[in-house]
Amino acid sequence: MRLKLGVPSKGRLMEKTFDWFGARGLELRRTGSDREYAGAVGGIEGVDLVLLSAGEIPRELDAGRIHLGVTGTDLVRERIPDWARRVEEISRMGFGQADLIIAVPKCWIDVDTLEDLDAAAAAFRREHGHRLRIATKYHRLVREFLREAGVADYRLVDSQGATEGTVKNLTAEAVADITSTGDTLRANHLKIISDGIIHRSQATLFRSKSASWGDQERAAMTAVERKISA
């Protein structure tokens, strides 16, 4: 069987991925028309390119339908239970950097640390009769982080987009979201909790441990590793 390499199918993430492999002598390219999601890998034998939505790559790695995949470490940790047993990090690629952080309104001058957030949540719950709401799409990562930190009296509310706007819209009191420059947070009058950095993510090449690894796939993998470590 041929080795399947899953990469993001569009946008800057795709371009940067193509550049990263290109610089290492692996020529990734799309084939067919602009709109057709088909691709090929040059400079190496036995490797197929699979173009996927970036968010689906963790699932495909976990299911073993692709052998290698490029995606953010944040998505792997969020979407693959017990991820370290399921996939292996081959190489951090140095782009797509983004931090998963907890942010609160800038006007909360009394809140700078998780300890403050916890105390504010307790008082908020007494005052309003419901838990302090944190809007996010990273439920698992945020929940585990706050449990470790011993923060109580909060509740996660799901937000799949425009998360920074939820506080102003009164659907959440705080947010846990990805940021790279912090511009969107500032524009929405939010600030990052100083010890509230949950995870620093970047685009990473992962190997699936559950994909079938026969002689051919292993040979192709050795060839890929030789290229990317050269």
Partner 1 sequence: MQPTKDQVRAEAARLQALFLETGAKAVDPNILQPANILLDLYGEDIRARAYVTGDPLKGEQMLRPDFTVPVVQMHVANGDGAARYTYAGEVFRRQEVPELGRTNEYFQVGLELFDSEDAAEAEAEVFDRFSSALAPLGLRAAMGDIGLLIAAVAGLKTTEARKNALMRHLWRPRRFRALLDRYSGRTPPPPSRRALLKRLEREMPQNMVQAVGPHIGLRSEAEIEQRLETLRIEAAAPPLSAAQVTLIDDMLDIRETPANALERLRDIAVDMPALDPALDRLERRLDAMRARGVALDQVEFEASYGRTTMEYYDGFVFGFYAGGRPHLPPVASGGRYDALTRVLGQGREIPAVGGMIRPGLALELAGKGAA
Q: For binding to partner 1 (CB under 8 A), which residues are involved? A: 81-82, 105-110, 112-113, 115-116, 118-120, 122-124, 127-128, 131-132, 139-140, 143-144, 146-147, 149-156, 167-168, 170, 173, 188-189, 194
Give phi and psi for 178, each to the nearest 5. Answer: -85, 135
How far apart CA 103 and CA 113 sit, in angstroms, is 10
| DSSP 3-state of 68 | strand
Q: Are 157 and 134 in contact (CB under 8 A)?
A: yes
Q: CB 36 → partner 1: shortest distance, Å?
A: 37
Between 152 and 219, name the residue whose CB sits nearer to partner 1: 152
Q: How far apart are CA 108 and CA 85, in angstroms?
A: 40
Comparing CB distances to partner 1, the nearer of 23 and 109 is: 109
Contacts with 194 (C-beta within 8 Å, 6 or more apart), sequence order: 112, 113
Residue 189 or 226: the one with the smaller Cβ distance to partner 1 is 189
CB of 130 to partner 1, least distance (A): 8
19 vs 110, which CB is nearer to partner 1? 110
Residue bearing tokens 């309003």:
128
User: How many whole angstroms separate alpha carbon 215 and alpha carbon 61?
Assistant: 19
Q: Which is nearer to partner 1, 16 or 140 (CB)?
A: 140
Which tokens is 134 given? 């944190």
Q: How far is the CB of 107 from partner 1 (least distance, A)?
A: 5
